[in-house]
Structure 1
Amino acid sequence: MSQDFGWSKKEVGVVLSSFFWGYCLTQVVGGHLGDRIGGEKVIVLSASAWGLLTATTPLLARLGGAHLLVLTSSRVLTGLLQGVYFPALTSLLSQKVRERERAFTYSAVGAGSQVGTLVTGGVGSLLLDRYGWQSVFYFSGGLTLLWAYYVYRYLLSEKALLTALSVLAQGLPVAHRTRVPWRRLFRKPSVWAVVLAQLCSACSFFVLLCWLPAFFSETFPGSKGWVFNVVPWLVAIPAGLLSGLLSDHLISRGYRTITVRKLMQVMGLGLSGVFALCLGHTSSFCKSVAFASASIGLQTFNHSGISVNIQDLAPSCAGFLFGVANTAGALAGVVGVCLGGYLIEVTGSWTSLFHLVAAISHVGLCAFLLFGQAQRVDLSPAHEDL
Structure 2
Amino acid sequence: MAVIQKHAKNGGPDLVCHKETHLPGKTGVPGCHKKWPENHSNWPRPVARLWTVVLLLGTCLLYCARVAMPICAVSMAEKFNWSKRESGMVLGSFFWGYCFTQVFGGYVSDRVGGEKILLLSAAAWGSMTAFTPILAHLCSQPILSMMLARFLMGLLQGVHYPSLASLCSQKVVESERGFLMSTVGSGSYLGTLLIGGAGSLMLDLYGWESVFYVSGLLSVLWAYCMWKYLLKGEGPIITLESLGGATQSKHTKRHWFRLLKQPAVFAVIVTHLCTASTFFTLLSWLPTFFKDTFPDAKGWVFNVIPWLVAIPSSLFSGCLSDHLICQGFDTASVRKLMQFFSMGVSSVFTILLCSNTTFPWAVAFVSVTMGLTTFSHRYWLLLNPSTVFLTLVELSGL
**TM-score relative to the length of structure 2:** 0.74
Task: Tell whether the 8 Å contact from 1:250 to 1:260 is kept in structure 2 after alignment.
Answer: yes
Structure 2 CA distance for partners of 1:187 and 1:102, relative to 1, 3 Å: farther
Q: Distance in 2 between matches of 1:308 and 1:106?
A: 7
- CA displacement, residues 195-216 of structure 1 (integer Å, 9 cap, x when unaligned): 2221211111122222211111
Larger radius of gyration: 2
Report the aligned-residue RMSD: 2.4
- CA displacement, residues 126-177 of structure 1 (integer Å, 9 cap, x when unaligned): 000111110010111012112222222232143351x23xx2xx57536325
Structure 2 CA distance for partners of 1:122 and 1:231, relative to 1, 3 Å: same
| AA partner of residue 308 (structure 1) | L
Q: Distance in 2 between matches of 1:44 and 1:178?
A: 28
Among candidates 278, 298, 314, match of residue 386 of structure 2: 314
> Secondary structure of the equivalent of 1:173?
helix
Task: Tell whether the 8 Å contact from 1:106 to 1:303 is kept in structure 2 after alignment.
Answer: no
The 5 A counterparts of 1:366-377 are 375=391, 377=393
| AA partner of residue 110 (structure 1) | G
Residue 252 of structure 1, CA deviation:
0.4
- CA displacement, residues 325-379 of structure 1 (integer Å, 9 cap, x when unaligned): xxxxxxxxxxxxxxxxxxxxxxxxxxxxxxxxxxxxxxxxxxxxxxxxx83749x
Question: Percent of pairs identical after alignment?
Answer: 51
* Count of residues paired in the alignment: 317
Q: Which residue of 1 aligns with 2:351?
A: 277
Among candidates 168, 172, 196, match of residue 93 of structure 1: 168
- CA displacement, residues 62-102 of structure 1 (integer Å, 9 cap, x when unaligned): 21422222111111111110111111111111222232222
Unaligned runs of 5+ in 1: 322-373
Q: Which residue of 2 aligns with 1:175?
A: 245
Structure 2 CA distance for partners of 1:137 and 1:14, relative to 1, 3 Å: same
Q: Which residue of 2 aligns with 1:208?
A: 282
Structure 2 CA distance for partners of 1:203 and 1:72, relative to 1, 3 Å: same
Among candidates 150, 168, 175, match of residue 225 of structure 2: 150
Greater helix proportion: 1
Among candidates 361, 375, 385, match of residue 301 of structure 1: 375
Unaligned runs of 5+ in 2: 1-75
> Secondary structure of the equivalent of 1:25?
coil
Q: Distance in 1 between matches of 2:267 and 2:169?
A: 19
Q: Which residue of 1 aligns with 2:201?
A: 126
Q: Distance in 2 between matches of 1:87 and 1:185?
A: 20
Residue 283 of structure 1, CA deviation:
2.0
Q: Which residue of 1 aligns with 2:190?
A: 115
> Secondary structure of the equivalent of 1:108?
helix
Q: Distance in 2 between matches of 1:89 and 1:240?
A: 16
- CA displacement, residues 292-336 of structure 1 (integer Å, 9 cap, x when unaligned): 00000100100343x226x35635xx7xx8xxxxxxxxxxxxxxx
Q: Distance in 2 between matches of 1:147 and 1:314?
A: 31
